[in-house]
Each structure stands twice: as structure tokens, then as C-alpha cells.
């Protein structure tokens, strides 16, 4: 069969299976099998499916994924995350301290947890009820926390950057450090949005907040673990002391110890963290394995190479190609969550980015920002529903969506900044070399 027939057939089957409600991992595998049978016998196809579904987890680098997920769950089940928010809130003597503190806490949490949803859930679970009680506007409160969760996937360690590096065979350490400067710029932009919001709609930010200040000893119990874990991850990877997998393992052990002594984690919390990690990895494991099978069939028919050649022959400018890819991901992100998009589309599209002459480390940051926009756009924006579910009696999904609009604009602005000034992402990795 011609490559475009196979490509359109696989895509059509995939979308059909998703529409009828088949989970994405099973939809990927089911869309692959008919075309696998076209090139191999039934017996060979079964062996290939087995090897692709299970063999992928022999990749050493993939061990970092469950370890980073476990790390985030440990913090989420302890008092470290909530105490981090209380510290950021009570120690900021400015109007709008709870909003600024939420962003700061999300950024701090992002420095030790790579999951956007876990970040939004952990900080939002404490901050949203408190902000509403203090008199903050519903849209500002929900928008700050939904957008704040996205900081976890740009500031290292990031699961999206980790998956991107696995799919594109790029340095995980270089990708992590490339996200630092854009991540800090994004935090600053979010602060500016809150300040401007307070000027435009002063009724959404209370003039005076009555809150019990957090004792310094409790504050240190929140700050020290985050600082220690963040330093263990960053220094060990960037200094070449450990691989990302080794850094994830060591930081997970440190987190377990610190969560017990400083975060009040007990046996029940540990069991819940392990259970949640296994549930998450059950889905991610199936998704990754079926994504590899899907990619194998596409690669056999040379779909990525032919697709890239098609665009090269069209002689489009590199920036036209980049714009098409970004728009494609933003639209697709309205219907699929980021991890699924990574394994479904990235194997086909990243060769096109490389052929257009763009640095793949730089594009990793661009890609991650588009994924941040994806989790904030309806109808399948994960962070929207996570935050709305925390206060569903008081906040509607419409409030969350409208509250996120200024933050989506900030993400789009950062995207344009990266296109205009690629060194925003590349300067720090080049300096580290």
C-alpha cells in the first residue's frame, strides 16, 4: 500500500476508535494491528506486538518516569505542598498575596514535580477554597491555579520534556535546563497578569487579607524539602554526576525521607502514593507501549520520512512550517491530552521540524509550551476540570475558562518570544556545555 493510504487509514481508525470511547492506548494498538497484518503473518504480528508492548520498558531512561511520578505523589500526600502555599501566602506583605503566593507555590512545586495535573491538584486543593473565602474573584482564583499548574511541565523536572526527549532521542538534561529561563519568564508574566487584573478589576482582590501567619519552623519544613530535592535533581543531572534515571531514584528516596520527617507522611499516605503511582503508570505504560507499536507501523511504511519530504518539496519557509505545527497542536490539544499527543503525533512531526532547520532542544521547549496551552483549552483541558472539581459548588467551568484567558495569552506571548529569540531557551544549555 502507498504510504499516504496507510497514514490516512491509521489516522481514520484511530479517531474512529477514540470517538466511540475506546481508551487511547487500546485505540492506538487497534489502529495499528490491521496494517501490521498487511506486512507480517499472524504469527509474526503477534510476536511483534508482544515485543513492542513489553520490550519498550527495557529502556533504562524510562525508569525515570515512574520515579518522578512517585516523587510528585509523595509531596502531594504530605504537607510539604500545602505548607509551601501557606508560606508564599503569609510571608508576602502585598495586596493579592494569595494570588502571588499560589503562583510562587506552583513554581516551587514544579521544581520537584513534573506533572501539571498533580501540581494543580496539590496547590489548588489548599489555595482555591482559601482564596474564595478571602474574597478573591472566582475567575481570578481558578485561572491563577489552573495556569499555575502548567509551570510544573516547563520547570524541570518535566514529564512532557522527558517523553519528548525519549521520542526524539535528545538529551534529557539539556531539555530540562532549556526550560528554566522560559519557566522563570512565565512566572514573571503570571505575576504581571495578577497585578494588572487587580488594577482593572480591583473588586476581585481583597484589600486586606486576614490570615494566620505560618510559623517560621513550619515554613522551613516546606521550603527545605523543595530546595533540597530541587538541588539534588538539577545538580546531579547538569553536573554529569548522575543520569536522569539515577537522579530520579535518588531524589525519590530523599523525598520519601523528607516527606516523613518534615511533611507528616505516614504509612497510609505512602500506600496511597504507591497506589496512585501504579494507576498512573498503568495508563502511561500502555500508552507508551501502544504508541511504540503505532510508530513501528508508520516507520515501516516510511510515513514520517515521506511526510517530511512532501513538505520539503512544497518549499515552505521554516517559520510557515513551524506555525502550521504549533496551530495543529493547539487545535489537537482541545481534544487530546498532552501525553497522548506526544506518542501519537511527535514521531511523524519532529523530523519535519529538524528538516526545517530548527534546533530540536529549542523545539522541545516550544512544544512543551503548546502542551501547556492544551491543558488550558476546552473541551478537554485537564487543568480546567481539575480546578473546577475542587470547588464545583462555587465555581463553574465557564469561570475557569474565562479566568485562564489572560494566562493563555501569556503563554502565546512566550511562544512568540522563543521564536523571535531562540537563545531564551538555548542560552543556558550552551552555557552549561
User: Domain for residue 347, yes or no?
Assistant: yes
Rg (CA), the chain: 22
Q: What is the pLDDT of residue 416?
A: 94
Q: What is the pLDDT of residue 261?
A: 85
Q: What is the pLDDT of residue 369?
A: 93
Q: What is the pLDDT of residue 406?
A: 94
Residue whose C-alpha is closest to residue 388's, from 377, 404, 399: 399
Q: What is the pLDDT of residue 242?
A: 82
Question: Do residues 40 and 342 lie in contact, with contact meaning Cβ atoms separated by under 8 Å?
Answer: no
Q: Which residues contact residue 128 at a Cβ distance below 8 angstroms, ignoring those fewer than 6 apart?
A: 141, 142, 145, 387, 390, 391, 395
Question: Do residues 193 and 407 lie in contact, with contact meaning Cβ atoms separated by under 8 Å?
Answer: yes
User: Domain for residue 3, yes or no?
Assistant: no
In angstroms, the CA 22 to CA 364 distance is 29
Stretches in the chain below the pLDDT threshold 70: 45, 48-49, 52-60, 89-93, 114, 208-214, 219, 222, 380, 433
Taking residue 45's Cβ as centre, other Cβ atoms within 10 Å add up to 17
Q: What is the pLDDT of residue 28?
A: 83
The total domain count for the chain is 1
User: Domain for residue 197, yes or no?
Assistant: yes
Structural domain that includes position 243 = 24-432
- What angle, 0 to 180 degrees and rounded to 10, lies between the N-to-C axes of helices 267-300 and 64-77? 150
212 φ/ψ sector (left φ>0, alpha ψ -120 to 50, else beta): beta
User: Domain for residue 184, yes or no?
Assistant: yes
Cell of 42: 499472524
Q: What is the pLDDT of residue 287?
A: 78
3-state SS, the chain, equals CCHHHHHHHHHHHHHHHHHCCCCHHHHHHHHHHHHHHHHCCHHHHHHHHHHHHHHHHHCHHHHHHHHHHHHHHHHHHCCHHHHHHHHHHHCCCCCCHHHHHHHHHHHHHHCCCCCHHHHHHHHHHHHHHHHHHHCCCHHHHHHHHHHHHHHHHCCCCCHHHHHHHHHHCCCHHHHHHHCHHHHHHHHHHHHHHHHHHHHHCHHHCCCCCCCCCCCHHHHHHHHHHHHHHHHHHHHHHHCCCCCHHHHHHHHHHHHHHHHHHCCCCCHHHHHHHHHHHHHHHHHHHHHHHHHHHHHHHHHHCCHHHHHHHHHHHHCCCHHHHHHHHHHHHHHHCCCCCHHHHHHHHHHHHHHHHHHCCCCHHHHHHHHHHHHHHHCCCCCCCHHHHHHHHHCCCCCCHHHHHHHHHHHHHHHHHHHHHHHHCCHHHHHHHHHHC
Cell of 290: 501502544
Which residue bears the cell 501502544?
290
User: Domain for residue 17, yes or no?
Assistant: no
Amino acid at each position: 500500500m502507498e504510504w499516504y493510504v496507510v497514514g490516512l487509514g491509521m489516522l481514520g481508525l484511530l479517531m474512529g476508535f477514540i470517538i466511540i470511547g475506546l481508551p487511547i492506548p487500546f485505540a492506538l494498538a487497534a489502529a495499528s494491528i490491521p496494517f501490521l497484518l498487511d506486512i507480517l503473518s499472524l504469527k509474526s504480528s503477534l510476536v511483534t506486538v508482544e515485543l513492542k508492548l513489553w520490550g519498550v520498558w527495557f529502556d533504562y531512561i524510562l525508569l525515570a518516569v515512574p520515579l518522578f511520578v512517585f516523587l510528585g505523589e509523595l509531596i502531594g500526600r504530605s504537607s510539604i505542598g500545602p505548607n509551601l502555599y501557606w508560606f508564599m501566602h503569609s510571608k508576602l506583605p502585598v495586596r493579592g498575596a494569595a494570588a502571588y503566593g499560589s503562583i510562587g507555590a506552583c513554581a516551587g512545586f514544579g521544581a520537584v514535580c513534573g506533572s501539571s495535573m498533580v501540581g494543580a491538584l496539590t496547590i489548588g486543593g489548599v489555595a482555591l477554597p482559601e482564596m474564595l473565602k478571602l474574597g478573591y474573584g472566582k475567575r481570578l482564583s481558578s485561572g491563577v491555579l489552573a495556569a499555575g499548574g502548567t509551570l510544573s511541565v516547563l520547570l524541570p523536572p518535566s514529564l512532557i520534556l522527558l517523553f519528548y526527549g525519549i521520542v526524539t532521542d535528545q538529551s534529557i538534561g539539556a531539555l530540562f535546563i532549556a526550560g528554566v529561563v522560559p519557566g522563570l519568564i512565565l512566572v514573571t508574566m503570571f505575576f504581571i497578569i495578577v497585578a494588572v487584573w487587580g488594577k482593572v478589576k480591583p473588586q476581585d482582590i481583597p484589600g486586606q487579607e486576614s490570615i494566620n501567619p505560618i510559623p517560621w519552623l513550619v515554613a522551613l519544613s516546606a521550603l527545605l524539602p523543595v530546595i533540597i530535592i530541587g538541588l539534588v535533581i538539577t545538580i546531579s543531572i547538569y553536573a554529569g554526576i548522575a543520569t536522569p534515571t539515577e537522579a530520579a531514584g535518588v531524589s525519590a528516596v530523599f523525598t520519601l525521607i523528607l516527606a516523613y520527617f518534615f511533611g507528616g507522611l505516614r504509612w497510609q499516605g505512602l500506600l496511597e502514593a504507591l497506589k496512585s503511582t501504579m494507576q498512573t503508570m498503568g495508563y502511561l505504560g500502555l500508552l507508551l507501549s501502544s504508541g511504540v507499536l503505532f510508530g513501528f507501523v508508520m516507520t515501516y511504511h516510511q510515513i514520517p520520512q515521506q511526510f517530511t519530504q512532501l513538505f520539503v518539496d512544497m518549499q515552505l519557509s521554516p517559520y510557515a512550517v513551524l506555525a502550521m505545527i504549533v496551530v495543529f497542536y493547539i487545535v489537537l490539544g482541545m481534544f487530546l491530552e498532552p501525553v497522548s499527543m506526544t506518542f501519537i503525533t511527535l514521531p511523524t512531526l519532529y523530523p519535519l521540524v529538524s528538516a526545517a532547520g530548527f534546533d530540536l532542544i529549542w523545539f522541545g521547549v516550544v512544544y512543551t509550551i503548546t502542551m501547556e496551552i492544551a491543558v488550558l483549552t476546552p473541551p478537554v483541558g485537564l487543568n480546567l476540570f481539575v480546578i473546577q472539581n475542587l470547588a464545583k459548588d462555587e465555581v463553574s467551568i465557564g469561570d475557569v475558562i474565562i479566568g485562564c484567558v489572560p494566562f493563555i495569552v501569556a503563554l502565546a506571548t512566550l511562544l512568540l518570544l522563543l521564536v523571535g529569540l531562540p537563545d531564551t531557551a538555548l542560552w543556558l544549555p550552551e552555557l552549561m556545555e
